[in-house]
């Protein structure tokens, strides 16, 4: 039981931190022009291949986004409009991050990424409306 509790804290924090350390260690090679053919980067290519050289560090940000939007909000005011508001605020922050950093190599890919973030934010509006109109359980 203790081991499970410890890993529930270590894993969600350790993965983004570990990814960040790996990426920082190889920052120069990742930002170089020949990164696609550099075989020394093969073990960590999955961490940066989807992003442009200017966003070599973006995978840990994606991990934090998943942690915040899926793993953390479940502990705040479960099943309430406040929980949806917190989720919407978190989604809005990551929408801003995607819009500012533009992590993908091509304009159309960045547009698609920002559009996906917009859909996360906008999906909260109907969810909040539905939740607000559900009958309250009797206590």
Using one digit for the tens of pLDDT, what is the confidence trace for 93-118? 999 999 999 999 899 999 999 999 99
Q: How many H helices and E strands in the chain?
A: 5, 0
Q: Are 40 and 29 in contact (CB under 8 A)?
A: yes
Alpha-carbon distances of 1 from 6, 8, 118, rounded to whole Å: 9, 11, 40
Structural domain includes residue 83: yes
| Structural domain span for residue 6 | 2-132
What's the number of domains the chain is made of? 1
Structural domain includes residue 137: no
pTM for this model (two decimals): 0.84
Structural domain includes residue 70: yes
**For the CA atoms of the chain, what is the radius of gyration?**
19
| C-alpha span between 139 and 77 (Å, rounded) | 17
Each residue's pLDDT tens digit, 50-73: 999 999 999 999 999 999 988 888
Structural domain includes residue 139: no
């Amino acid at each position: 039981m203790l081991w499970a509790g410890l890993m529930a804290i270590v894993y969600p924090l350790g993965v983004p931190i570990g990814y960040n350390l790996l990426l920082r260690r190889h920052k120069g090679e990742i930002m170089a022009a020949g990164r696609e053919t550099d075989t020394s980067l093969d073990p960590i290519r999955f961490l940066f291949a989807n992003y442009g050289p200017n966003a070599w560090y973006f995978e840990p940000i994606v991990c934090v986004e998943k942690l915040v939007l899926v793993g953390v909000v479940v502990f705040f005011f479960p099943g309430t409009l406040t929980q949806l508001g917190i989720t919407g605020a978190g989604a809005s922050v990551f929408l801003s991050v995607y819009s500012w950093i533009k992590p993908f190599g091509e304009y159309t890919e960045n547009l698609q990424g920002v559009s996906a973030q917009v859909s996360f934010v906008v999906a909260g509006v109907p969810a909040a409306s539905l939740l607000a109109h559900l009958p309250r359980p009797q206590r």
